[in-house]
């Protein structure tokens, strides 16, 4: 059976936006393939605003979420493997979902499935990533 996370993430994202709230995601920045600004990572995690006014070119695929965001005025492409997304919630309501642990998604981030732009970025991020699993904390 296919993993639930990609489907639940898309549905909750739409629900949060339709409710007039801002969707935030909690990401495990230590998962292989995560491309985020490392200077904003705390305790191995990063909270990202994925609202339509905060990011551009948002793509929620089965194996990953990809978009462009600005950090300290600098544009950056973000790549979030689906298994790295730990939770999604509304900024104002705090309503959302913490995702249960899952096995790797069926066919996740196979070389042929990975976005072309992300491949080299993924290779760079592998070097600095520790394998320790961070603790989930509410923000």
CATH number of the domain at 96, please.
Answer: 2.30.30.220
Is 138 a domain residue? Answer: no
Q: For 7-64, what is each residue's pLDDT tens digit?
A: 999 999 999 999 999 999 999 999 999 999 999 999 999 999 999 999 999 999 999 9
**H-helix segments, the chain:** 5-18, 116-128
Q: For 94-136, what is each residue's pLDDT tens digit?
A: 999 999 886 555 554 443 344 544 444 434 333 344 444 445 4
Rounded distance between C-alpha atoms, residue 18 and residue 7, angstroms: 17
Is 130 a domain residue? Answer: no
All residues at 6 or more sequence positions from 105 whose CB lies less than 8 Å from its CB, including other chains: 2, 3, 5, 6, 62, 63, 82, 83
Is 129 a domain residue? Answer: no
Rounded distance between C-alpha atoms, residue 70 and residue 49, angstroms: 10
pLDDT of residue 101: 81
Is 115 a domain residue? Answer: yes
pLDDT of residue 103: 58
Is 31 a domain residue? Answer: yes
Q: Partners of 26 in the beta sheet?
A: 47, 87
Pairwise pLDDT comparison (78 vs 101), residue with the higher score:
78
Domain residues for 22?
5-123
The structure's pTM equals: 0.74
Binning pLDDT at 50, 70 and 90, where does residue 1 land? Answer: confident
Is 71 a domain residue? Answer: yes
CB 56 within 8 A of CB 67: yes
Is 135 a domain residue? Answer: no
Report the domain count for the chain.
1
Pairwise pLDDT comparison (138 vs 6), residue with the higher score:
6
CB 64 within 8 A of CB 79: yes
| Rg of the chain on CA atoms, in Å | 14
Residue 99 DSSP symbol: P
Rounded distance between C-alpha atoms, residue 40 and residue 57, angstroms: 21
CA distances to 62, 82, 128, 136, 139 from 114, in Å: 11, 12, 20, 27, 30
Sign of the C-alpha dihedral computed for residues 13, 54, 41 and 63 taken in this order: positive
pLDDT of residue 79: 98
């Amino acid at each position: 059976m296919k993993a639930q996370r990609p489907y639940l993430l898309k549905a909750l994202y739409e629900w949060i936006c339709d409710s007039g709230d801002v969707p935030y995601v909690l990401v495990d920045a230590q998962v292989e393939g995560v491309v985020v600004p490392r200077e904003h990572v705390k305790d191995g995690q990063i909270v990202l605003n994925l609202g339509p006014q905060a990011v551009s070119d948002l793509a929620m695929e089965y194996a990953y979420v990809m978009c462009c965001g600005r950090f300290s005025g600098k544009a950056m492409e973000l790549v979030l493997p689906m298994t790295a997304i730990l939770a999604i919630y509304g900024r104002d309501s705090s309503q959302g979902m913490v995702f249960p642990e899952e096995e790797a998604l069926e066919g996740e981030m196979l070389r042929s499935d990975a976005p072309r732009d992300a491949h080299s970025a993924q290779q760079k991020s592998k070097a600095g990533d520790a394998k320790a699993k961070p603790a989930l904390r509410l923000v």
